[in-house]
Amino acid sequence: MTIATPYYLIDEKKLLRNLQIIQQVRQLSGAKSVLALKCFSTWSVFDLMQQYMDGTTSSSLYEARLGHEKFGKETHAYCVGYSQEDILAVTEFADKIIFNSVSQLDRYYDVVKSTKLGLRVNPGISHSHFDLADPARKHSRLGVVDREVLAQQLHRLSGLMFHYNCENDDVDAFSKQLDFIGEYYGDMLRELQWVSLGGGLYFTKEGYPIETFSKKLADFAKTFDVQVYLEPGESAITGCAELVTSVVDLVHNEMDIAIVDASVEGHMLDLLIYRLSAKIDESDTGKHQYMVAGRSCLAGDVFGTYHFQDKLQIGSEIRFADAAGYTMVKKNWFNGLQMPTIAVRRLDDTVEVIRRFSYADFLNSLS
């Protein structure tokens, strides 16, 4: 099937590889995994994902509702700040409601007390390569810091949520962190039913010691008699999608520059936020070097600099790898650029176009 660029292509076989690892961790450790919708909400592949995962977790009312309606199973509702309207809506379907602060728990407790409740805890430790994404950064608003204040709320709670990692692929660092959580909060956990260790644990990375990781989780759950939850986002979908683009112009300014029919700011925004280059599967040993840039008016709309085996031409296809996480959920209409189509290569290798976006979508996103 020929699909006009730009488009996101999700490959279910590559997705399945991650899901099978998630299932393996569940079997070895007993830890449940709920998909972090803030990273990936493309519900056209939820039928596959729900066979290997236990539900979803969210950062807003709309995400929670999407998880409930499209994924099913457990629906964990978390938000940094709920409004009264949010709470009234989410109590209709959430299995667990997790608050970011004691003040929000106090404000809404009478409304939600029949639901299983949790509080997010800021343990003061983290693993992040970026201050922007560090939940334990100075003056962080994310989670309860004061241990005594937290202890006073236990009678209202069934669990706690700790989210303090970002792309942590170091099992030794994870183990030390978990030991700290157990030492500092273990007495509280023994009074509760569940604990979420959040997301940001890159346990589907090639070569990651799954058995060591799983044993650590299992021992922790047994020690404190709690159900452990993980909230994989990127770990669930890493490496399973591409952003497929075409070259629309070639210019030269001290180096060759290829302009493609997509945009970093519009279609892979996290690269811009964290000042990263997009990944491509093309070998970096080619003799033809190009900066590849997007077609928005932003001067810094650059995917990266790469070496290609062949010279690029107008119409040459460039595929950016690892394009599932924090892309489709963040895509936007900056410059009114054509938004990429979303397509899925199913397990039987058929390619299904899920959604094409049109001028009407652009028009209706405004007023």
Sorted by sequence, the CB contacts under 8 Å of residue 54 that are 6+ apart come out as: 26, 32, 33, 34, 73, 74, 229
Select from 255, 252, 334, 352 the least CA-distant residue to 3: 352
Distance CA(96)–CA(203), nearest Å, equals 25
Angle ∠(73,76,81) on CA atoms, nearest 5: 155
Which of 14, 16, 90 has its CA nearest to residue 53? 16
Q: Is 106 annotated as a binding residue?
A: no
Q: Of 152, 157, 79, 81, nearest to 116 (Cα)?
A: 157
Report DSSP state, residue 144: B
Cα 46 to chain centroid distance, Å, stands at 14
- Alpha helices in 133-268, H assignment, sequence order: 147-151, 171-189, 210-224, 234-237, 264-267
Q: 79 - beta bridge partners?
A: 99
Kind of pairing, strands 227-230 and 256-260? unpaired
234 is in an annotated binding site: yes
The CB density around residue 171, as the number of other CB atoms within 10 Å, is 17
Residue 225 token pair? 């008699």
List C-alpha distances in Å: 292 to 122, 265, 339, 362.
Answer: 40, 14, 18, 26
Q: Which segments are annotated as binding site? A: 234, 270
Q: Which segments are annotated as binding site for substrate? A: 234, 270
